[in-house]
Amino acid sequence: MAKTKTPPTDTLPLLVRGDEPLVIERLRRHLTYLGLTHTLLSLDTLLAWASRERPGHSALLEHVLANEVAHKSENRLARRIRTSGLVEHKTLEVFVWDFQPSLDKSLVLELARLDFVCRHDDLVITGKAGTGKSHILKAFGLRACVQGLSLRYARCVDLLADLHAGLADGTYPLRLKAWARPQLLIIDDVGLGQVRLRDDEPTAAHTLFNLIDRRHGKLSPSLTDDPRRASASV
Render 60-91 in DSSP notation, one character per residue. HHHHHHHHHHHHHHHHHHHHHHHHHT--S---
Question: What pLDDT score does 201 carry?
Answer: 52
Note the pLDDT of residue 3.
Answer: 52
pLDDT confidence of residue 10: 45
CB atoms within 10 A of CB 194: 10
**DSSP class of residue 219?**
S
Q: What is the largest CA-CA distance in the chain?
A: 100
* 178 Rama class: left (phi>0) / alpha (psi -120 to 50) / beta: alpha
- Looking at 3.40.50.970, 3.40.50.150, 3.30.310.50, 3.40.50.300, the CATH number of the domain 92-233 comes to 3.40.50.300
How far, in Å, CA of 167 to CA of 27, rounded? 53
What stretches in the chain show pLDDT beneath 50?
5-16, 227-234
Query: Which pLDDT value is given to residue 194?
Result: 52
Could you tell me where the DSSP H helices lie in 85-203? 105-111, 115-118, 133-146, 156-169, 172-180
Name the region of 75 (left: φ>0; alpha: ψ -120 to 50; beta: rest).
alpha
End-to-end CA distance of the chain: 95
Output the pLDDT for position 84: 94
What is the model's pLDDT at position 199? Answer: 53
List the chain domain ranges.
Answer: 18-84, 92-233
Helix-strand-coil percent breakdown of the chain, rounded to 5?
Answer: 60, 10, 30
Angle, CA 20 vertex, CA 16 and CA 24 arms, to 5°: 145
User: Which of 3, 229, 25 lies closest to 129 in space, CA to CA?
Assistant: 229
Check residue 231 and give its pLDDT.
34
pTM of this structure: 0.73
